[in-house]
């Protein structure tokens, strides 16, 4: 039996035209050729469960100011400083912050999304 998409409430707040692709036990959310989010809920490394937000390092400060629940990835106590930000599923205001991020995407906020060649057609 296939794993259901976690945090599926986000689809109520995302724009039409998104594509969902399942890879590596996670659900990748695309808008056109831009990856926007990854939804992850897995048994291994549960500290990485939540919503991953595709962005660039230059936008981290302003996104964290607007949605303080966003943060870097922390794996085994080591903070990873890549382009992605993470909204952990155990964050106090997880659903509110997730909705806020989805609304940014719906309104075309340029801070969210990364162009990718691997986008689904």
Tell me the whole-structure pTM to 2 decimals: 0.91
pLDDT by position in tens, the chain (length 121):
467 899 999 999 999 999 999 999 999 999 999 999 999 999 998 999 999 999 999 999 999 999 999 998 776 667 776 889 999 999 999 999 999 999 999 999 999 999 987 666 5
Number of structural domains the chain divides into: 1
Question: Quick one: 102 exposed, middle or buried, by C-beta within 10 A (0-12, 13-18, 19+)?
Answer: buried
User: Does residue 120 fall inside a structural domain?
Assistant: no
User: Does residue 25 fall inside a structural domain?
Assistant: yes
Structural domain containing residue 26: 8-115
User: Does residue 80 fall inside a structural domain?
Assistant: yes
- Distance (Å, whole) CA 19 – CA 58: 26
User: Does residue 121 fall inside a structural domain?
Assistant: no
User: Does residue 3 fall inside a structural domain?
Assistant: no
User: Does residue 1 fall inside a structural domain?
Assistant: no
């Amino acid at each position: 039996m296939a794993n259901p998409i976690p945090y599926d409430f986000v689809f109520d707040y995302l724009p039409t035209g998104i594509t969902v692709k399942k890879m590596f036990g996670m659900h990748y959310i695309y808008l056109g050729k831009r990856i926007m989010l990854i939804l992850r809920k897995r048994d291994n490394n549960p500290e990485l469960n939540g919503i991953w937000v595709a962005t660039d390092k230059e936008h981290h400060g302003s996104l964290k100011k607007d949605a303080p629940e966003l943060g870097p990835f922390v794996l085994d106590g080591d903070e990873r400083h890549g382009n992605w930000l993470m909204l952990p599923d155990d964050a106090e205001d997880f659903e509110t912050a997730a909705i806020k991020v989805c609304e940014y995407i719906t309104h075309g906020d340029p801070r969210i999304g990364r162009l990718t060649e691997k986008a689904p057609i």
